[in-house]
Structure 1
Amino acid sequence: MNAIITASDLMSELVGDQPPLLLDVRWQLGGPPGRPAYEAGHLPGAVYVDLDTELAGPAGPAGRHPLPDLSAFAAAMRRAGVGRERRVVAYDGGQGWAAARAWWLLRWAGHPSIRVLDGGLPAWTANGGSLTTDAPAEPEGDFVPEPGALPLLEADHAAALARRGVLLDARAAERYRGDVEPIDRVAGHIPGAVSAPTVDNATGDGHFLPADRLAERFAALGATRDAEVGVYCGSGVSAAHEVLALAVAGIPAALYVGSWSEWSAAGGRPVATGPQPG
């Protein structure tokens, strides 16, 4: 199944006999919180999911958005109505990063059918979709996580992959080079990583590039179906978007969830700066 869905296709599915469950995952780095925006208007039937508290564990040595406690994540997903057999569509405010984090977590935890609304809420309204302030009455789901369906990298694995395969750094190029570092303690990148900013996976309005163009982009960076590919970012959110873009292009990739916020927090790990060689 394709990892993304268009607004028009979602509209058609929602009037079918077995409509998908909608998860509203609006979030922005540094705020404001997404729940007020959700309460002001959301897709009909959508349930709000908080990225910081339900799709991540507490910030600490493992990064700003480490993996959530599995039992807490399972309980949050069941409260939202996620069931093993029910299709799920996640959306956000249009950037796609938060929705991709929900996609990656549910896929990693074994859910067989989770997609992201391409272009998010703006694509929905631009296609004539309505919004509501009504609270949905979804019954509790029966989702039981079975982690491991998508590959996951720890810090040492990411370092090794940068040497033997392709490790993509999804942050802005200036953060990769170490020119600036507005968030984390140390500027630079994991030695051997390749700069591949997530923003280049999408158009200005948040829609993913076509699959063939994404494949061309990643091939130019060395990431192909035949390569071993991993991705990291600042805290495992925009990198999830890059893993999703790779999936659209037909290229499997592992996610380093701790990402630079974990790597740079631990003293003694090597740091590279400047543009990538070649």
Structure 2
Amino acid sequence: MSSAPAPFLLSPSEVNDLIKSGTTPVSLLDATWFMPNSPRNANDEFLAKRIPGSQRLDLDEVASPHELGVKHMMPESQTFASACETLGISPSTHVVLYDTHGIFSAPRALFMFRSFGHQNSSILNGGLPRWADEGLPVDTDAPKSPEPAIYIPLPQLNEQALRSYEQIVANSRSGLSTNAAAELVLDARPKGRYAGIDPEPRPGLSSGHIPHAFSLTFNLLLQKHKAKDGQEYSTFLPPAEIRKALDDAVGPVEAEKIIRGERSVVASCGSGMTAGVLWVGLQLLDVKQVAIYDESWTGYAMRPSSVIEKST
């Protein structure tokens, strides 16, 4: 793998130039995912329209089983390596991930690649809608399967990238204000679900939040755009505006501790998907100590022993 990590974000023109340069193998992956209550199907949409040469990365398929049935959990090493080989990805491949929202599920896919040590990976900032809006070609023919690759040595997961239920419970009991070692949990769900006012999209699941968690809705790190065809899509805000959103969520004092590496952060959301947006946003601020609570709120709220707070 390359010794220097690739940029976290690339514009459509930067991706196009990277492909044309031919200096390194490039693999474009559509990592689109939709909420469980959405009528849209990501696999069908990929077959209908995609960036030329791209392959489909189904985050629900490249995943480990979960005891409570939560989807898209971090895969085992062999599952990840086998998926890469099928997609034509070797350790030297520059992987560029995108989705059809602009920014939504591609950050989770980037988190997966980086957590397995594949530093040569980036997000197409603005995804397929921005790519098309800037006049770059879109393919509607049947996709072609890539030549299989070999992914050796077997990648190893950075265990520090994830938090378990037991770790989250122990952290919530440790007392954030009195324990300097306590990790700060950031909840990426909409504020109404965090507060317990609005329902969860998964039927029968209580809304609310983990004790001592802070609300930082993932959309607060994004800006919306309207394409020439009227479609809306999102891109990341500039780092200065992401920092302001962090200040507003946790207060300037705690935000400064995070930036300086004096307070570790755990990102959580509904099921570990949009927590990836917070993870990338904090990487853009050069925050290193960021993990994701993989099962997130779905796993937490499904457990009868969990303490659930319902307040702003």
Q: TM-score, normalised by structure 1?
A: 0.92
Shift of 1:41: 1.6
CA contact (8 A) 2:102 2:130 kept: no
Q: Secondary structure at the residue paired with 2:246?
A: helix
Q: Which residue of 259, 262, 277 maps to 2:296? A: 259
- The alignment-based identity, stated in percent, is 25
**Larger Cα-atom Rg:** 2
Q: Counterpart of 1:203?
A: 223
Q: Secondary structure at the residue paired with 1:37?
A: helix
Q: Secondary structure at the residue paired with 1:23?
A: strand
Q: Which residue of 221, 229, 245 maps to 2:265? A: 229
CA contact (8 A) 1:161 1:230 kept: no
Q: State the AA in 2 paired with 1:199.
A: N
Say if 2:187 is the partner of 1:172.
Answer: no
CA contact (8 A) 1:13 1:19 kept: no
Shift of 1:244: 1.0
Say if 2:90 is the partner of 1:83.
Answer: yes
Shift of 1:3: 0.8
Q: CA RMSD for the aligned pairs? A: 1.9
Gaps of 5+ in 1: none
In 2 relative to 1, CA 262–98 (structure 1 residues): closer, same or farther, beyond 3 Å?
same
Say if 2:50 is the partner of 1:42.
Answer: yes
Shift of 1:74: 2.1
Q: Which residue of 56, 67, 73 maps to 2:80? A: 73
Q: Which residue of 185, 188, 198 maps to 2:205? A: 185
Q: Secondary structure at the residue paired with 2:283?
A: helix
Q: Following the alignment from structure 1 to structure 2, what is the Cα–Cα distance between the partners of residues 129 and 19?
A: 20
CA contact (8 A) 1:110 1:149 kept: no
Say if 2:162 is the partner of 1:152.
Answer: yes
Q: Counterpart of 1:218?
A: 246
In 2 relative to 1, CA 146–59 (structure 1 residues): closer, same or farther, beyond 3 Å?
closer
In 2 relative to 1, CA 196–60 (structure 1 residues): closer, same or farther, beyond 3 Å?
same
Q: Following the alignment from structure 2 to structure 1, what is the Cα–Cα distance between the partners of residues 236 and 132?
A: 17
Off by >6 Å, runs of 4+ in structure 1: none
Shift of 1:219: 3.4
Q: Counterpart of 2:19?
A: 14
Q: State the AA in 2 paired with 1:188.
A: G
Gaps of 5+ in 2: 1-5, 177-181, 225-232
Shift of 1:270: 1.0
CA contact (8 A) 1:44 1:134 kept: no
Q: Could you tell which deviates more after superposition, 27-36 or 167-176? A: 27-36
Q: Following the alignment from structure 2 to structure 1, what is the Cα–Cα distance between the partners of residues 44 and 267?
A: 31
Q: Deviations over 1:99-138 (max 9, x none)?
A: 1121111111111211111010011011111111242342
Q: Deviations over 1:70-103 (max 9, x none)?
A: 3223212210112101110000102422211211
Say if 2:145 is the partner of 1:140.
Answer: no
Shift of 1:21: 0.8
Q: Could you tell which deviates more after superposition, 148-157 or 108-117? A: 148-157
Q: Counterpart of 2:281?
A: 245
Shift of 1:59: 5.5
Q: Following the alignment from structure 1 to structure 2, what is the Cα–Cα distance between the partners of residues 141 and 194?
A: 42
Q: Following the alignment from structure 2 to structure 1, what is the Cα–Cα distance between the partners of residues 25 and 142?
A: 18
Q: Counterpart of 2:179?
A: none
Q: Following the alignment from structure 1 to structure 2, what is the Cα–Cα distance between the partners of residues 78 and 241?
A: 26
Q: Following the alignment from structure 1 to structure 2, what is the Cα–Cα distance between the partners of residues 8 and 160?
A: 46
Q: State the AA in 2 paired with 1:260.
A: W
Q: Could you tell which deviates more after superposition, 245-254 or 136-145? A: 136-145
Q: Following the alignment from structure 2 to structure 1, what is the Cα–Cα distance between the partners of residues 29 and 128?
A: 11
Shift of 1:24: 0.9
Q: State the AA in 2 paired with 1:29.
A: M
Q: Secondary structure at the residue paired with 2:74?
A: coil
Q: Could you tell which deviates more after superposition, 6-15 or 245-254? A: 245-254
Q: Counterpart of 1:33?
A: 41
Q: Secondary structure at the residue paired with 1:264?
A: helix
CA contact (8 A) 2:221 2:241 kept: no
Q: TM-score, normalised by structure 2?
A: 0.82
